[in-house]
């Protein structure tokens, strides 16, 4: 009984997870096709900014 509930819960969890991943992948492909996808250099710059902000927050704490 308990195992069945656990399996049902896991099925829903993984189904939702794979649906979200598929939607994100589809969205990225659409952006690339439209030419709206940021370049790798832009993305690296954003990651560096996030890392700097995070280190500042840790320093303040």
Residue pLDDT tens, the chain, 61 long = 789 999 999 998 888 888 999 999 999 888 887 776 555 555 555 556 555 555 555 554 4
Q: How distant, in Å, are the alpha carbons of 4, 22, 25 from that of 18?
A: 21, 6, 10
Query: pTM of the predicted model, to two decimals?
Result: 0.40
| CB-CB contact of 28 with 37 (8 Å) | yes
């Amino acid at each position: 009984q308990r195992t069945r509930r656990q399996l049902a819960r896991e099925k829903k969890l993984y189904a939702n997870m794979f649906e979200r991943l598929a939607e994100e992948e589809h969205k990225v492909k659409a952006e690339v096709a439209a030419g709206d996808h940021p370049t790798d250099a832009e993305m690296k710059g954003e990651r560096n900014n996030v890392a700097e902000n995070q280190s500042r927050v840790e320093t303040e704490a």
